[in-house]
Amino acid sequence: MSEIRWIPVTERIPDSDRAVLLYVPDENADPVWIGHRDGPTWRWPTGFTCFPTHWAELPEPPAEEGE
């Protein structure tokens, strides 16, 4: 299994509308979610705005049985 490489949003951002893992530190919720960038705005899948400090590529899906 490959290790997740967290990229600071101040270093680089993903292409717009591309699903990625987001790290959003918040004491009231889990910090890691799937989300995307919508132009200059970061969004949860629900469409609400979020403010991540880091992002990471989604991992590869599991291999099919027999591969």
Write out pLDDT tens, residues 42-59: 999 889 999 999 999 999
* Per-residue model confidence (pLDDT) at position 34: 95
pTM above 0.85, yes or no: no
On the CB side of 59, CA atoms within 13 Å amount to 7
Instruction: Tell me which of 11-20, 22-31, 46-55 is least confident.
Output: 22-31
- Residue 65's pLDDT band, with cuts at 50, 70 and 90, is confident
- Adjacent-strand bridge partners of 33: 22
Question: Is residue 38 scored above 70 in pLDDT?
Answer: yes
pLDDT at position 60 is 86
User: Which helix (H) or strand (E) element contains residue 49?
Assistant: strand 49-50
Q: Identify the burial level of 44 via C-beta atoms within 10 angstroms of its C-beta, where 0-12 means exposed, 13-18 middle and 19 or more buried.
A: middle
